[in-house]
Amino acid sequence: MIVVFSLFLLSLLVVTAIAIVRSENLFSAVMLSGIFSLLMALNFFILDAADVALTEAAVGAGVSTVLLLGALALTPTEERRRKRERKVAATLVTVTMIFLAISYASFDQPRIGDPDAPVHRHVAPWYLEQTPELIDIPNVVTAVLGSFRGYDTLGEVYVVLTAGIGVLFLLSAGRPGLLPHRREPRIESSLKSHLIPHVVGRVLIPFIVLFGLYVQFHGEYGPGGGFQAGAIIAAGIILFALLEGEGAALKVLPPRVLVGLAIGGALLYLLVGVACMLLGGNFLDYSVLAADPVTGQQIGIILIELGVGLAVTGTLLSIFHAFAAREQ
């Protein structure tokens, strides 16, 4: 049964992707990409990746759709009518050939789920065996993310921060004089006048943020962690901004605080690494943080997950506000 279901979900992914490429209205393409992300999250869940599914649902279906809509408010929402071009036909042929080549190559690959596939015989068994002993937290994904491959995660956090800084630089610069007053000053854009989204949303926001905090601090025991929590909390506050208007959200969390959160979170991660060095261990080797190495590991993971959560929340909200501020 589950096989049929997963084949169905995978096929839906392809159908949705084709619909995204074909649609000429960018607004519907963005909505379809939200659906695409949600389907992707379901697929991840069926493939046993609970943590990844949570991230994809929060980031892909939530935050990314809002950011794309924010960008569409500043750009035309209709694609220019396409002429039939020869180039398109040639591309289609090439792309189909490559697809056939990939499918042909798949016959040499191990079947999905094969326990003897090379990917399962490398370091993965070691992680699964050593996690209960060395770190003693149930969620192996968090253990690998925070401790075994903590250096990797540090880099990812700084990539996110750098991208956020780039967006702020690009969008905070003054407008060129090319398009003076194209847009009529918009009425305080919010859903205040729409009763049902307003009432339902207001009830939901506290629970979304609470769930985000749960995901943050329960990440060692269940699916979750800083990346997911950051995206979920950011989504909750973005919902608040959509319901109550930009100004109300900025009053709660001013831009300076958001940038501070992003940088503070990233610095917290780095400082934990440096603290490990000062205490005589290696960079990001948390064992030295407490008398007992296992407790030290747990303290380190909780601290760096907190740093990740703060950095992701701060960056995503800063990006959202940068797009929203550009509209005014």
Partner 1 sequence: MEILGLYNYWVFGALLMIGFFALIARQNLVKKLLGLSIFQSAVFLLYISLAKVEGGTAPIILDPTAAEIFSNPLPQVLILTAIVVGISTTALGLAIVVRIREAYDTIEDDEIRRLDRRS
User: What residues numbered 40-59 form the site for partner 1, per CB under 8 A?
Assistant: 40, 43-44, 47-52, 55-56, 59
Residue 190 interacting with partner 1 (CB under 8 A): no
User: In the range 293-312, which residues lie near partner 1 by CB under 8 A?
Assistant: 312
222 vs 255, which CB is nearer to partner 1?
Answer: 222
Residue 291 near residue 225 (C-beta atoms within 8 A): no
Residue 325 near residue 171 (C-beta atoms within 8 A): yes
As measured in angstroms, the least distance from the Cβ of 105 to partner 1 is 8
What is the C-alpha R_g of the chain? 23
Cα(125)–Cα(142) distance, rounded to whole angstroms?
16
Q: Which positions ≥6 away from 311 have C-beta within 8 Å?
A: 157, 160, 161, 226, 230, 261, 262, 263, 264, 265, 266, 269
Q: Can you tell me which of 212, 230, 273, 314 binds partner 1, judged by CB under 8 A?
A: 230
Torsion of CA 30, 36, 42, 44, to 10 degrees: -110
Residue 290 near residue 296 (C-beta atoms within 8 A): yes
As measured in angstroms, the least distance from the Cβ of 155 to partner 1 is 9
Q: Can you tell me which of 1, 2, 80, 256 binds partner 1, judged by CB under 8 A?
A: 80
Map 222-258 to HEC letters.
Answer: CCCCHHHHHHHHHHHHHHHHHHHCHHHHHHHCCHHHH
As measured in angstroms, the least distance from the Cβ of 181 to partner 1 is 13
142 vs 288, which CB is nearer to partner 1?
Answer: 142
Tell me which amino acid residue 276 is. C
As measured in angstroms, the least distance from the Cβ of 66 to partner 1 is 10
Q: Which positions ≥6 away from 132 have C-beta within 8 Å?
A: none
85 vs 256, which CB is nearer to partner 1?
Answer: 85
Tokens for 29?
A: 């393409």
2 vs 196, which CB is nearer to partner 1?
Answer: 2
As measured in angstroms, the least distance from the Cβ of 170 to partner 1 is 4
Q: Can you tell me which of 5, 71, 200, 292 binds partner 1, judged by CB under 8 A?
A: 71
267 vs 279, which CB is nearer to partner 1?
Answer: 267
Tokens for 126?
A: 């070691």
As measured in angstroms, the least distance from the Cβ of 216 to partner 1 is 14
**CA separation (Å) from 287 to 46, 149, 155, 276?**
35, 14, 21, 8
As measured in angstroms, the least distance from the Cβ of 144 to partner 1 is 5
Tokens for 72?
A: 């569409």
103 vs 193, which CB is nearer to partner 1?
Answer: 103
Of 220-228, 243-251, 275-283, 292-300, the segment contacting partner 1 by CB under 8 A is 220-228
Residue 212 near residue 294 (C-beta atoms within 8 A): no
User: In the range 121-180, which residues lie near partner 1 by CB under 8 A?
Assistant: 123-124, 127-128, 131-132, 138-141, 143-145, 149, 152-153, 156, 159-160, 163-164, 166-167, 170-171, 173, 175-176, 178-179
Of 183-191, 224-232, 264-272, 295-303, the segment contacting partner 1 by CB under 8 A is 224-232
User: In the range 83-102, which residues lie near partner 1 by CB under 8 A?
Assistant: 87-88, 91-92, 95-96, 98-99, 102
Tell me which amino acid residue 234 is. A
Q: Can you tell me which of 222, 255, 264, 293 binds partner 1, judged by CB under 8 A?
A: 222
As measured in angstroms, the least distance from the Cβ of 148 to partner 1 is 9
SS3 14: helix
Tokens for 58?
A: 């929060």
